[in-house]
A and B are shown apart, each in its own frame.
Chain A
Amino acid sequence: MTVTGGRTIKVDTLARVEGEGALYIRMAGDRVADVKLKIYEPPRLFEAFLRGRHFSEAPDITARICGICPIAYQMSAVHAIERALGISIDPAVRLLRRLFYCGEWIESHTLHIFMLHAPDYLGYPDVIQMAVDHREVVDKALRLKKIGNRIVHLLGGREIHPISAAVGGFHKTPTRNQLRDLVEDLEWALEASLEAVRWTTTLPFPEFEQDYEFVALRHPDEYPFNEGRLVSNHGIDIEAAEYEDRFTELHVKHSNALHSVIRGRGSYHVGPLARFNLNFDKLPEVARKAATDAGLKLPVRNPFRSITVRAVELVFACAEALRVIREYQPPALPRVEAPNRTGVGHAITEAPRGILYHRYAIDDNGLITAAKIIPPTSQNQRRIEDDLREYAAQLVAWPLEEATLKCEQAVRCYDPCISCATHFLKVVIDRD
């Protein structure tokens, strides 16, 4: 860290976010003059890689976009392509895909709650230092994450960049006994998640609320993963196919990731807070009770409370995984045939950090002629800047060093995955 003329703090490496970017905040007296979330990681051009490839390759190619949420990419890809081809999947495959997503949410949320975000609240530079004083918490977190890994490994063939998801189903589906082997671990995980919710309520939360437009999937019968209409608390209620009519991407000079905005309105908020606020009634009783006992009141508009909401979603993911395992009967075939056919398909699924939109156009040889992928972090990018504009103004009286740490914590509320959006975050606050 360098301090220049007493007015600039430069943190060369902001850890605990995924990817390479920087945060720049310029203050003019009490006023925030400029906020830029700069994503300088080079563009990754996955949409172009996909053109000319057979649709069956899309789940494996797009899984490579992210080591933390490959399942989200696979799920948005297979559902969009299935819609383009007009095929329907076996209900058992639908259940397994929910279980697959539970595994990814457990891995990703555990990592973010305990390893990436909690050290901010407790004043540690990282989880390694935190583990010295909170050994039991970190031990449990590691075990929880491992259980998420087990689910992903079983259904996906391996823990990172799984390979079993396919258009029409899976390349291989598990037996009932293989799933039953997970039950003991998941029952432990459910208890550990409930404990995690309680633990997060003991953390100190900054007072900060914003009037967000929350955007998430909503399904009539379930907490959303792969299906549902896209809704918001300000009246959006659309199908995935209508997404590009309501949302648009803007290029900004300081970022290699496009900023998504709602046409005519601006920034919006996707992720755990949005899902929770828009789908509280669809959570299982155990998760609703945990949320209520934790003092969460709808709508939760304090982004720093997202750590508790993520823990509530952990409870949901464990309970849902157990439900799926109870109900599962293997499908007649692991996957239905997916014949080459011209078509365009869209899908939105709920990645751990928010909605992930995919669109594919396919020709009569089954080759992809166009692909569009809009990850959650590019959708939250503008919103993160808007939050910082408000939040930094509250911190004018704070010493620069502490203000900088608080701003980093605010960014981490969104669990940004910069690699997905286009990797380091460097924070600079300039005070004139």
Chain B
Amino acid sequence: MLIIGCGNRDRGDDAAGILAAERLRSRGIAAEICSGESSALLEAWAGAAEVILVDAVQTGSPAGTVHMWDAHHAPTLHTSTGSTHGFGLAETIELARSLGRLPAKLKIYGVEAETFAIGSNVSPQVDRGIDEVVRRVLLELS
């Protein structure tokens, strides 16, 4: 099982995936940290059959809500950043699907984010959400 936490440490709740990976590491679980940039992410999971991704998400739910999707069964993921030069996690997953490069099992834990303010800490609700992701991942591994 490969665990990858994605995000940006310096953008508030966007650090959720990275913090989840670090908290798993502190419990002796190997976890990768990735910016979420597409070629890096495709490379990170190349050859892995089972992958868990953790990232911050925005769906309109209350901050800190933990979502879980199976990339093979979820409806097409879509982000509407209108962007640009940066490809987000959702686009990367869809690109991997087009290219036949999705891991056989890919589970995504999304922690509902509230703020992406530069330099801010994760919000308390998101902090609790990260702990819940860690608890659920540990449960899966046990």
Contacts and interface: CB of A to CB of B under 8 A. Distances in A.
Interface of A: 13-20, 67-68, 111, 115-116, 127-132, 135, 138-139, 142, 145-146, 149, 159-160, 417, 423-425
Contact of A142 (B38, B80, B85, B94): B38
B37 interface: yes
Contact of A67 (B39, B40, B86): B86
A424 B84 CA distance: 8
B93 to A, nearest CB: 10
Given A115-B87, A131-B98, A132-B98, A15 B39 contact: no
Nearest to A112: B85
Contacts of A135: 98-100
B100 A18 contact: no
27 contacts: A13-B82, A14-B82, A15-B84, A18-B83, A18-B84, A18-B85, A19-B84, A67-B85, A68-B85, A115-B87, A127-B95, A128-B91, A128-B94, A130-B98, A131-B95, A131-B98, A131-B99, A132-B98, A135-B98, A138-B99, A142-B39, A145-B39, A146-B39, A149-B40, A160-B37, A423-B83, A425-B82
Nearest to A20: B82
Interface string B32-64: 000101111011000000000000000000000
A140 B95 CA distance: 13
Contacts of A129: 98
Contacts of B94: 128
Contacts of A142: 38-39, 42
A178 to B, nearest CB: 19
B72 to A, nearest CB: 16
B85 A13 contact: no
A115 B80 CA distance: 16
How many of chain B's residues touch chain A, expressed as a range? 20 to 34
Contacts of B83: 15, 18, 423
B42 to A, nearest CB: 6
Contacts of B35: 159-160
B118 to A, nearest CB: 10
Nearest to A146: B39
Given A128-B94, A159-B37, A139 B85 contact: no
A146 B100 contact: no
Interface string B68-90: 00000000000010111111000
Contacts of A68: 85
A19 B84 CA distance: 7
Interface in B90-137: 91, 94-95, 98-100
A417 B85 contact: yes
A119 to B, nearest CB: 12
Contacts of B98: 128-132, 135, 138
Contacts of B40: 149, 159
A-B pairs with lowest CB-CB distance, top 9: A131-B98, A13-B82, A424-B82, A18-B85, A18-B84, A68-B85, A128-B94, A132-B98, A146-B39
Interface string B18-40: 00000000000000000101111
B99 A17 contact: no
A14 B40 CA distance: 25
A56 B109 CA distance: 41
Contacts of A127: 95
Given A67-B85, A159-B37, 16 more contacts: A18-B85, A130-B98, A131-B95, A131-B99, A138-B95, A138-B99, A139-B99, A142-B38, A142-B39, A146-B39, A146-B43, A149-B40, A159-B35, A160-B37, A424-B82, A425-B82
